[in-house]
Structure 1
Amino acid sequence: MSSGATILGVEGLVLGRDEAAFLRAADPWGLILFARNIDRPEQVARLTADLRACLGRDAPILIDQEGGRVQRLRAPHWREWPAPLDQALSGGARAMWARARVQAAELAALGIDVNCAPTCDIAGDLTHPFLRNRCMGLDAATVIANARATAEGFLAGGVLPVIKHMPGHGRATADSHKHLPVVTAAAEDLRASDFAPFAALADLPMAMSAHIRFTAFDDAPATQSAPMIGLIREEIGFGGLLMTDDIGMEALSGGFAERTAASLAAGCDVVLHCNGTRAEFEETVAAAGRLSPQAAARAEAALACRRAPEPVDIAALDAELGVSAPVAGSGSEAHG
């Protein structure tokens, strides 16, 4: 039988008995870690092992390790990374590959095998500050080159990338954590720019939806819009596992059961619920049910893309990038 159609957050630094019992019953497809779950390398590695043992399978464990403001692993045990846009514009695709390959080594050493990156949105003059420097370029061609290099760096290091925020968040002038952004651009303009990076990277195994309303296509946020998910599948051509952005964000309305049901009914494969009370998690799990046969097939295909890290000289990549490795003895070095 397939797993539940959810990816859930975890409470703290260790897996307690009560939380383990809940997770065993909920059987989420995957789990996601945040800063609240991160202390030292040995602690994170123990947590990821305990989570998989709890579920009784090699479940995917996700994180947001973009660099800049959005990185859960930080000094002194892990490298500090500049914002993606800064490094993309200064170093280009080679730097983005090297950066992702080193990040993958840090993640894989901890048992984390999915990174919610690269951000494939196009940064513009009006892009909201919460997103702008998390992007990888100012035009579609630059984003495509840098995002592809980033994805390949993660894959070479044994970590699955998640392209986001599909079909494009760059024109949003509101923060979807707090409000529902509304994009009024014409369909032909969106197709020519915003959607193009996702079409170019549509072969990748996983993607995350955008909580944005595109008035040219529908009144509902893309995450909960059958026309938008249909466009993602048919026009953009993405055949991989489509997860929602966090359904706890205020861009969405209604209770968690309603948010979950609407997202899955629109065509998303799995619902991400990062932060919430136990009652909210239970509501989400109950509404989500099990992965559909189509979603289960996509999930299996995505996990089949996990592979052992390819050999690489991490120290040489550090020197090339000009980053400082963690202090000796931190336990976070990996030369896979």
Structure 2
Amino acid sequence: MSLLSEDPTVGMTVDELIGQVLSVGFPGTTPTAEILDLIQKHHVGSIMLFARNAEDVHQLRNLTRSLQTSAREAGHRFPLLISNDQENGMIQRLGRGSTIFPGNMALGAIDSEQIVYDVAQAVGQEMKALGINMNFAPVIDVNNNPDNPIIGNRAFGEDPMQVARLGVATVKGFASAGVITCLKHFPGHGDTAVDSHYALPTILHSLEHLQRVELVPFRYGIEAGADAVMTAHISFPALTGDESLPATLSSHVLQHLLREQLGFGGLVVTDCLEMDAIIDTVGIEAGTVDALKAGSDLLLISHTYSRQLQAIEAIRRALQTGYLSEERLREAAGRVLRLKARALSWEEALTNDQAMICVGSDLHRELSEKVYELSTTLVKDTKGLIPLNLKPEQRILVVYPRKEAWSQISDRVYPIALLGEYIRLRHANVRILCFDPTAISSAYREIQRAVHEAALVIMVTVNANLDPQQAMLMQEVLQSNKPVIGIAGMFPYDLLAFPRLSTYLTTYEYTPPALEALARVLFGEIAPQGQLPVSLPDIPPGRKRFSFGLQSSRVQDKLELQEKEAG
């Protein structure tokens, strides 16, 4: 009888079952004593990696192989599930040497299912070659709240059907590369103004609204064969009747809505149980047990060894007292093991060196460059500043905020100053100024002088609609009456903070290839083709709500002239 049909938990001890329902993380780029203890002594069967674990692709491949070897030597029946959040864009976790691809909202600006499929397939191929067999992606939240501090550009957009279409294309692309997929964050994290890493958000929508908006992409993703669904640490009183109860801990959300109504039979995964929405409400022990009892199958405890041990002991105690049934534990572990039996093999986990040839390959880099160029979006250009047309003696001032990682989930920092360098390659007379968004007053005089000396100001902002200091500085720069080009370097909603800005572009992220594509657009080397996948005010009459983007006629004229001259 196949392992997929028989009960794979038969003969397993309680401790072995507990290990299979946990996914843990650890610091460093080599296996620590603590992670080896969890794999070998506590039978933990799933590992989650972050950017902190990946310096470069060769080190990462050695790390995943070492982890799998330790599991094999400890007698694990199946390989480890090794996962990460490779969402692309600002969330890149494969290390130096891998290909950087655009994130979801940049892909939403292109709105091509084929391109989304191709990107997911390429990313999946690199993940699989590096020993990562599960991706906690795609994000299929419908981002319909401009004040959302944590989803934003991680979403494809605000149209539920667009999110559904592109989410399905992502699932299929990863599946073609043999990577396990996970839809997130169920039942929807898009319409909140609170980051669940720091607090418990509450969404007050009716069930009818959830069915019409938030649940649409999940319904399509499940039908497309997604392997797993990740729960959100968000309160939905319309579903639970309790504002203090996160969806992760609600049997009504996980069993009635997800399993029964949506018909999902795959793996239910929690978001990290160390997030403040859980830690500051019920704590790690109750959070672990209650999530398992409510219907979760794989429990993420991504950072702290002591909490990982607490979770193991909490499950043991809950079984001993009868609060948690062994039947529920076996059901959860069985789903994990069936997924492993179907999707993983020891041969692939421990060898597969030939697959490394695809990582950072020319083919993938060419695809990345093409997609970034298609995503850059010219939202507004009422004064016709694009493409730039300056004399050599005229100075361009590039102003940008100093940003560390923009949230807990973005743990790799990219230098926005690269935009200035890409511009300098095309126009030598450039000054680049960085300001601290938390201490703008200290830099104000220098910025004021630099603006006065410049012929044109290019100001990059990062989520300025959520940052009054950046918004205030842009307003001051606009008072100078110098030509100003505003660049939204992350979420595209910055224009809400300074609506009288006449020229506004968005790249949806400030990764190096996004900034290079932007420079090419600014100088008319390529036309801006992205279409804004979210709503902003003052959309010209006749433009579709979800398709706001301009192609500069001056850019088109220049490109056509170049083609004629080349011909």
1:29-58 superposed Cα distances (whole Å, 9 cap, x missing partner): 300001111112221111111111222241
Report deviation, 1:69: 2.0
Residue matched to 1:280: 307
Whether the 8 Å CA contact 1:103–1:154 is kept in 2: the answer is yes
Q: Which moved more, 1:247-256 or 1:175-184?
A: 247-256
Residue matched to 2:230: 208
Unaligned runs of 5+ in 2: 1-11, 317-325, 372-567
Rounded to whole Å, the distance in 2 between the matches of 1:242 and 1:130 is 22
Correspondence 1:293-308 to 2 at 5 A? 293-306=330-343
Whether the 8 Å CA contact 1:232–1:238 is kept in 2: the answer is yes
Unaligned runs of 5+ in 1: 325-336
The residue identity in structure 1 corresponding to 2:89 is G
Q: Which moved more, 1:300-309 or 1:196-205?
A: 300-309
Rounded to whole Å, the distance in 2 between the matches of 1:21 and 1:71 is 28
Residue matched to 2:22: 6
Whether the 8 Å CA contact 1:80–1:323 is kept in 2: the answer is no
The residue identity in structure 1 corresponding to 2:311 is T
The residue identity in structure 1 corresponding to 2:202 is V
1:54-107 superposed Cα distances (whole Å, 9 cap, x missing partner): 222411100111012222124x41122222111122142111111111111211
1:161-192 superposed Cα distances (whole Å, 9 cap, x missing partner): 11111111111221000111100001111011
Rounded to whole Å, the distance in 2 between the matches of 1:32 and 1:299 is 15
Residue matched to 1:319: 366
Q: Which moved more, 1:264-273 or 1:123-132?
A: 123-132
Report deviation, 1:296: 2.6
Cα gap change, 1:282 to 1:187, in 2 (>3 Å):
same
1:270-325 superposed Cα distances (whole Å, 9 cap, x missing partner): 2100112x22110012224588222233223323452789x99975454344269x
Correspondence for 1:59 among 69, 72, 80:
80
TM-score normalised by L of structure 2? 0.54
Whether the 8 Å CA contact 2:49–2:83 is kept in 1: the answer is yes
Residue matched to 1:217: 239
Cα gap change, 1:110 to 1:15, in 2 (>3 Å):
same
Q: Secondary structure at the match of 2:300?
A: strand
Cα gap change, 1:228 to 1:110, in 2 (>3 Å):
same
Q: Secondary structure at the match of 1:164?
A: strand
Rounded to whole Å, the distance in 2 between the matches of 1:175 and 1:18 is 30
Rounded to whole Å, the distance in 2 between the matches of 1:9 and 1:322 is 32
1:222-273 superposed Cα distances (whole Å, 9 cap, x missing partner): 0001111121111122110101000000111233111101111111112100
Structure 1 runs of 4+ with >6 Å offset: 311-314
Q: Secondary structure at the match of 1:207?
A: strand
Rounded to whole Å, the distance in 2 between the matches of 1:282 and 1:320 is 43
Rounded to whole Å, the distance in 1 between the matches of 2:90 and 2:193 is 18
Correspondence for 2:196 among 176, 191, 203:
176
Residue matched to 1:248: 274
Residue matched to 2:155: 135
Report deviation, 1:137: 2.8
Residue matched to 2:297: 269
Whether the 8 Å CA contact 1:98–1:321 is kept in 2: the answer is no
Residue matched to 2:485: none
Rounded to whole Å, the distance in 2 between the matches of 1:186 and 1:87 is 30
Rounded to whole Å, the distance in 2 between the matches of 1:165 and 1:266 is 16
The residue identity in structure 2 corresponding to 1:222 is A
Report deviation, 1:206: 1.0
Task: Give aligned pairs, total.
Answer: 321
Correspondence for 2:136 among 105, 116, 135:
116
Whether the 8 Å CA contact 1:256–1:280 is kept in 2: the answer is yes
The residue identity in structure 2 corresponding to 1:137 is G
Cα gap change, 1:73 to 1:317, in 2 (>3 Å):
closer
The residue identity in structure 2 corresponding to 1:204 is A
Report deviation, 1:113: 0.4
**Identical-residue share of aligned pairs (%):** 29
Whether the 8 Å CA contact 1:166–1:207 is kept in 2: the answer is yes
Residue matched to 1:72: 93
Higher RCO (C-alpha under 8 Å, 6+ residues apart):
1
Cα gap change, 1:191 to 1:254, in 2 (>3 Å):
same
Correspondence for 2:175 among 155, 166, 181:
155
Cα gap change, 1:217 to 1:153, in 2 (>3 Å):
same
The residue identity in structure 2 corresponding to 1:286 is E
Residue matched to 2:216: 196
Whether the 8 Å CA contact 2:143–2:190 is kept in 1: the answer is yes
Q: Rg bigger for which structure?
A: 2
Q: Is residue 153 of structure 2 the alignment partner of residue 125 of structure 1?
A: no
Residue matched to 2:404: none
Report deviation, 1:150: 0.7
Q: Secondary structure at the match of 2:276?
A: coil
Q: Is residue 42 of structure 2 the alignment partner of residue 41 of structure 1?
A: no
